[in-house]
Every structure is written in structure tokens, then in C-alpha cells.
């Protein structure tokens, strides 16, 4: 038996079991806010009865701990910013360029739109961040 084969066999039983060993993202789980590992457990708690930003610390189905380390979701702020710009900028441009509105009313509309869409952008950003992280570093 070769040396290489022995090394491979001896470590196999010590490796943690992975659900997914490769870079893949489930689009349905991403869109529905489900766990990136099992694609079944909800990342966020149901909206009714709680705040819209209540997140499960672990996946209720497979137990994946969502916040990998303190400050893990800081990177999701970039995603949230991108989502916010993608939602607010087209409306502002249409109001300015096509409807001929002034800067002040468009700014007020943009602020109101941001306040209304902020909780959704928060959720989408964290879900996207989790799925992107899991695609590159599966656990
Ligand atoms: Zn899960």
C-alpha cells in the first residue's frame, strides 16, 4: 500500500461532514431566505409578532451557526448599500429626468423610499452575504 493512500485513508474519518463540498448557491434558498447549507431552515424569524430584523442564531433544521464570528455581518452592509442604491436611484432618475421634479422633492421621496425599504434590504443583504460566504467557504 502506498504512502499517499495511507495518509488519505487515515484522515477521512476525522473530517467534519459537509452537506455541500463545492461552490454552489441554491437560487431558490437565496430568494426565499433559507439556510445556505440545508436550504430548508429559515434564516430570519417570521415577521409577525417580532421585529422584521429578528434573525435566528442557528439554522432550525441543520444547526448551522449563521454569525461565523463577531462582526461577521459588517460585510453585508456593502450589499445593503448596493441594494439600496439599486432601488432608489432608478426612481430618482425617472422623477428628475422624465417627470421634471426638483431636487428637494426627489430627495424627500428617496429618503422615504429608503426608510420603507431598509428592513427588506437588511434581510436581503444578510441572506445574500450568508449564501455568498457559504459558496466560497462551505462548512
Ligand atoms: Zn440549515
21 C-alpha vs ligand 1 centroid, how far in Å? 15
107-136 pLDDT, tens digit each: 999 999 999 999 899 999 999 999 999 999
Residue 9 lies in a domain: no
Residue 2 lies in a domain: no
Residue 30 lies in a domain: yes
Beta strand segments in the chain, E: none
Are the C-beta atoms of residues 75 and 129 closer than 8 Å to each other?
yes
> Which value, in Å, is the radius of gyration of the alpha carbons in the chain?
21
Residue 108 lies in a domain: yes
Q: Is the pLDDT of residue 49 over 70?
A: no
Residues that place a CB less than 5 A from ion ligand 1: 35, 37-38, 41, 59, 61-62, 64
67-111 pLDDT, tens digit each: 999 999 999 999 999 999 999 999 999 999 999 999 999 999 999
For residues 49 and 11, which has the higher predicted lDDT (pLDDT)?
49
Looking at the DSSP bridge assignments, the partners of residue 34 are 42
49 C-alpha vs ligand 1 centroid, how far in Å? 23
Q: So what's the pLDDT on residue 16? A: 47
Residue 58 lies in a domain: yes
Domain that holds residue 75: 19-136
Residue 10 lies in a domain: no
Looking at the DSSP bridge assignments, the partners of residue 42 are 34
Q: What is the pTM of this model?
A: 0.75
Count of structural domains within the chain: 1
84 C-alpha vs ligand 1 centroid, how far in Å? 27
Amino acid at each position: 500500500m502506498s504512502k499517499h493512500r495511507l495518509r488519505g485513508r487515515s484522515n477521512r474519518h476525522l473530517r467534519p461532514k459537509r452537506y455541500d463540498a463545492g461552490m454552489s448557491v441554491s437560487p431558490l434558498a437565496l430568494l426565499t431566505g433559507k439556510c445556505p447549507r440545508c436550504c430548508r431552515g429559515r434564516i430570519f424569524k417570521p415577521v409577525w409578532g417580532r421585529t422584521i430584523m429578528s434573525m435566528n442564531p442557528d439554522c432550525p433544521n441543520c444547526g448551522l451557526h449563521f454569525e461565523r464570528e463577531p462582526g461577521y455581518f459588517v460585510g453585508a452592509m456593502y450589499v445593503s448599500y448596493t441594494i439600496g442604491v439599486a432601488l432608489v436611484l432608478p426612481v430618482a432618475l425617472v422623477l428628475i429626468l422624465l417627470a421634471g421634479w426638483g431636487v428637494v422633492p426627489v430627495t424627500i421621496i428617496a429618503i422615504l423610499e429608503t426608510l420603507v425599504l431598509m428592513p427588506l434590504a437588511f434581510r436581503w443583504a444578510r441572506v445574500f452575504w450568508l449564501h455568498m460566504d457559504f459558496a466560497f467557504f462551505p462548512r
